[in-house]
Homo-oligomer: A and B are copies of this chain.
Amino acid sequence: MTRAHTSPPSAARTPCGTLREAHVGQDVTLKGWVNRRRDLGGLVFFDLRDRSGLVQVVVEPGSGAFGTAERLRSEFVVEVTGRVRARPEGQRSDRLQTGAVEVVARGVTVLSEAKTPPFLVDGSVDAGEVSEELRLKYRYLDLRRPEALRPLLVRHKVIKAIWDFLDAEGFVQVETPLLTLSTPEGARDFVVPSRTQPGSFYALPQSPQLFKQLLMMAGVERYFQIARCFRDEDLRADRQPDFTQLDLEMSFVTQDELLDLNERLMRAVAKAALGIDLTLPFTRLTYEDAMNRFGSDKPDVRFALELQDLSETFAETDFRGFRGVLEAGGRVKALPLTAEHAAELSRKRLGELEAHAKTHGAKGMAWLRREGDGFAGPIAKFLSAAETAELAAHAPETGDLLLIVADAWRVACEALGAVRARLGHELGLIPGGTYRFLWVVDFPLLERDDETGGYTYMHHPFTRPREEDLPLLETDPGRVRAWAYDLVLNGFEVGGGSLRIYDQATQLKMFAALGISEREARERFGFFVDALAYGAPPHGGVAWGLDRLVMLFAGAQSLRDVIAFPKNQRGGDPLTGAPAPLSAAQLAELSLSVTAADGTTAEARGGGGA
């Protein structure tokens, strides 16, 4: 009979980055990676790196560790025993937090050797000099750079703070299914073939929307989840096929209570992750105000530049371009710039800004520059005396500039909003290290689909219309406002949500407004429509884009920087090589065959049925 084997305990280990002058004279055991070795004046020096940071190790020629130290190379994993001593005055380093001390090694043991890595991770090379594809292929090396690991640590702190806050507020974390039915977010689903039911597929969830609403109907009352979500969309620079959201839902709650809870949650998160104190409540802007003032439904309010509406001024204009727009119900919007900022805008740059406005839908962008009592610029000649006088209030000083777009209201706002955002960056108007949260509320429930002429939802088909606007749903759907809100940080949407419809009749009316018949609704969401008939509580919720939030908190440049093993912009994983072809046997087991790009059907290669 054998005795249970007891492995020897490892010697107590000191984290490299924690050593300070207070430790001088102490014997320590360190374990980590050789960051870089330098041989100097007969001694061997190397920086040892672990998750906590770096410390300098010195090995003297007389030491028994010297032979081992001499053959150390970058990224070897070693155990070092030795004594902490103060560095001589002139040799202190400000580069390291441990720069006042070094460890004189008594023993050095190689735990693991390392080949020369494909790129240096010792801080001597800027990550930007290495192609991202290479860094992702060797992500396990890339993450050894403290700057690369930091966003993952911020992410951990954010999620921990979420758990702590919501647990204390009585929220229950519930995991919702990942193998489920197509959900109605409107993007393309990733699907998973069922082996046992040939021809049937699960869908990976685009969000837990229906399940969290069902949990409210189940009486969970307060739910949250750090939820993995999947959308098979065409990838932009700033998207991943799978992403993470904080998903949250509450019963018996008003919009104000939901916003208040989210604000307090965000304050706790910002405190834990960044150590900053956010001021509550956050500013609340209506969708209409946000568009009118900032030309965006996710305005960056870190700088003050605001749009003006000149429609009244130009009500009687002789300029046909503006008059036509106004007569068609459009607006004349302007972005006023002070002479100081305007001075930086050459004709060439104005041309670039107009091009930028055009990519956001405007047909053109005019400009007027204050000169003496009047204005210069291509359309100055159309100005009447009265118009000039009114405009002067918007551009009081010589050199002040008005950038003007006349178009349908939303186009005029968004085009100038895009110009505003660009100028914010280019004119250096954005203060660093500032976190400006705000809510955008009172969104329209529906918006017109320019292609079909029908209506589509702005948030999703489960958003509750404002009660007083309900009659409009059948007569003038575009005017119905929603109990919907977005949370905006520094010009990025970091969250969004709504109160939900909680009765079957309104839900079916909403589907009808979207052009979905009751029959189709029952086919696609029958189980959900049914559920509404068995006593659904009033409820609402929110989802935060966690990747985006962590990106902003960590000061990272890309969503890929806040994900441990991200996909590249083609949806591939350079590390593992995913996705990859299946074997013929696997395909046969799934009762699938791959059709060629030209639409013909390839034969199932190889045997074995399911």
Contact = CB atoms under 8 A, between A and B. Distances in A.
Interface stretch (A334-342, A348-356, A427-435, A597-605): A597-605
A286 interface: yes
A509 interface: no
A188 interface: yes
- Interface SS, A side: loop
17 contacts: A4-B286, A4-B442, A10-B252, A13-B252, A31-B537, A112-B502, A115-B533, A139-B214, A140-B534, A152-B174, A177-B578, A179-B567, A180-B573, A181-B573, A181-B580, A191-B192, A588-B595
A503 B114 CA distance: 10
Contacts of A49: 219
A563 interface: yes
Contacts of A601: 593, 601, 603-604
Interface in A11-55: 13, 31-33, 49-51
Interface stretch (A193-201, A382-390, A490-498): A193-201
Given A140-B534, A174-B152, A252-B13, A2 B286 contact: yes
Contacts of A253: 10
Given A3-B286, A177-B573, A571-B196, A191 B586 contact: yes
A75 interface: yes
Contact of A195 (B155, B179, B232, B254): B232
A595 B592 contact: yes
A408 interface: no
Contact of A179 (B138, B242, B503): B242
A599 to B, nearest CB: 6
A597 B198 contact: yes
Given A194-B579, A592-B595, A593-B595, 19 more contacts: A1-B292, A3-B286, A4-B286, A10-B253, A31-B252, A32-B219, A33-B219, A112-B537, A153-B172, A175-B564, A177-B242, A178-B204, A179-B573, A180-B573, A190-B192, A191-B582, A191-B586, A592-B592, A599-B604
Nearest to A442: B5
Nearest to A254: B7
Given A194-B571, A256-B7, A149 B218 contact: yes
A32 B144 CA distance: 52
Contact of A10 (B9, B141, B254): B254
Contacts of A138: 534
B152 A534 contact: no
Interface string A130-166: 0000000111111110000100110110011001000
Given A112-B502, A564-B176, A564-B215, A610 B594 contact: no
Interface of A: 1-10, 13, 31-33, 49-51, 75-77, 111-115, 117, 137-144, 149, 152-153, 155-156, 159-160, 163, 167, 172-182, 188, 190-204, 210-211, 214-215, 217-222, 228, 230, 232, 241-242, 244, 251-257, 284-286, 288-289, 292, 439, 441-442, 466, 481, 483, 502-503, 527, 531, 533-538, 563-565, 567, 570-573, 575-582, 586, 588-599, 601, 603-604, 607, 609-610
Contact of A535 (B76, B196, B219, B570): B76
Nearest to A440: B4
Contact of A188 (B4, B195, B599): B195
Contacts of A137: 527
Given A159-B173, A601-B604, A578 B203 contact: yes
Contact of A580 (B144, B201, B572): B201
Contacts of A7: 254-256, 483
A246 to B, nearest CB: 13
Nearest to A219: B144
B143 A219 contact: yes
Contact of A175 (B140, B194, B202, B228): B228
Given A503-B112, A594-B199, A141 B218 contact: yes
A577 B595 CA distance: 27
A538 B573 CA distance: 26
A179 B230 contact: yes
Nearest to A152: B174
Contacts of A182: 580
A201 B570 contact: no
A199 to B, nearest CB: 4
Nearest to A171: B156
Contacts of A219: 32-33, 49-51, 143-144, 149
**Considering the complex of A and B, which 7 residue pairs feature the smallest CB-CB distances, nearest first?**
A114-B535, A143-B218, A200-B579, A75-B535, A181-B576, A181-B578, A4-B284
A535 B580 contact: no
Given A6-B256, A175-B563, A114 B50 contact: no
A5 to B, nearest CB: 5
Given A77-B537, A537-B112, A149 B220 contact: yes
Contact of A174 (B13, B203, B564): B564
B221 A51 contact: yes
A194 B192 CA distance: 11
Contacts of A531: 140
A609 B182 CA distance: 21
